Amino acid sequence: MTYLNLVNGVLRRLREDEVSNVSESTYSKMVGDYVNDAKDLVETAWDWSPLRNTLTITTSNGDNLYSLTGSRNEGKVLNFINDTSNCLVEYQTQNWFDDKDFIQEAVTGSPKNFTYAGVDGSGDTQVKLYPTPDQAYTLKVRVVLRNVELSADSDTLAIPSGPVLHMAIALLSRERGETGGTSTAEYFAIADKHLSDAIALDAQKHPEETIFYTP
Q: What is the pLDDT of residues 38-54, one digit of tens each?
A: 999 999 999 999 999 99
Q: What is the pLDDT of residues 54-101, one digit of tens each?
A: 999 999 999 999 999 988 877 889 999 999 999 999 999 999 999 998
C-alpha to C-alpha distance for 67 and 123, rounded to whole angstroms:
9
Give bridge partners of residue 2 from the DSSP assignment.
156
C-alpha to C-alpha distance for 201 and 69, rounded to whole angstroms:
29
DSSP 8-state class, residue 209: S
Q: What is the pLDDT of residues 7-41, one digit of tens each?
A: 999 999 999 999 999 999 999 999 999 999 999 99
* Of 204 and 62, the one with more pLDDT: 62
pLDDT for 180: 56
C-alpha to C-alpha distance for 27 and 172, rounded to whole angstroms:
11
pLDDT for 72: 80
pLDDT for 215: 44
Contacts of 198 (CB under 8 A, 6+ apart): 46, 159, 160, 162, 163
pLDDT for 105: 85
C-alpha to C-alpha distance for 4 and 156, rounded to whole angstroms:
9
Is residue 211 scored above 50 in pLDDT? no
Angle at 172 between CA 169 and CA 175, to 5 degrees: 150
Q: What is the pLDDT of residues 118-153, one digit of tens each?
A: 999 999 999 999 999 999 999 999 999 999 999 999
